[in-house]
A = this chain, B = another copy of it.
Amino acid sequence: MAPDIDTSAGARPAPSLDDPLLTTLGLFFEAHAGLALVLERHLEAECAMSLQWFEVLLRLARSPGNRLRMSDLAAQTTLSTSGLTRAVDRLESAGLVRREACDSDRRGAFAALTASGAERIDAAVPVHLAQAHDLLDRTLPGDRLETFTDLLRHLRDALNPAAAEASVIADPDG
């Protein structure tokens, strides 16, 4: 018979509070929060732009005709369709994006980069990349960054099959 380890009053049994997978998940969430915070602060200070705006403008800049259907854009970001509608409202108010009608399906709408939006994202990308390289090349030197990317791709493919399939066609993110 195995003896109880902890018999002190009021102690609860520890089901699996020390499973290393909890540590992995915790590290993942902490790393994400830290990275988003640092990147956002830099982008905000240097380019007066949130990380969300950067991501939306970048998607548009990489799309044919610098435009994308609202629903496609929503699928490529972490926003719901209503969330994207509001985000595009704000981008349109700032003059960085313009809505365009869709001829082939009049229910649809495009979000299109304006000249001003193109200027802003073109200016922001090198600033963003400089900081990201400064941070990551130093933190994950040698081939570690490539390994990290490879592991992330496996994870993303398992979690978001839609994005994985789309990347085979158009390579929005690997």
Which positions in A face B, CB cutoff 8 Å? 12-13, 15-17, 19-39, 55, 58, 61-62, 78, 118, 122, 125-126, 129, 132-133, 135-136, 138-140, 144-145, 147-149, 151-156, 158-160, 163, 172-174
Contact = CB atoms under 8 A, between A and B. Distances in A.
A144 to B, nearest CB: 6
Contacts of A136: 21, 24, 155
Identical chains in the assembly:
2
B126 A62 contact: no
A139 B154 contact: yes
27 contacts: A17-B58, A17-B61, A17-B62, A23-B149, A24-B145, A24-B148, A25-B132, A26-B173, A26-B174, A27-B153, A27-B156, A27-B173, A28-B32, A29-B36, A30-B78, A31-B155, A31-B159, A33-B78, A38-B159, A135-B158, A139-B154, A139-B155, A140-B155, A144-B154, A147-B147, A148-B155, A151-B151
Contacts of A145: 21, 24
Contact of A30 (B33, B118, B163): B163
A174 B23 contact: yes
Given A31-B155, A132-B21, A154-B140, A16 B125 contact: yes
Contacts of A138: 158
Given A17-B125, A26-B172, A34-B156, 16 more contacts: A12-B122, A20-B149, A21-B133, A23-B174, A24-B145, A25-B132, A26-B173, A27-B152, A28-B32, A29-B32, A30-B163, A31-B156, A31-B159, A139-B154, A148-B148, A148-B155
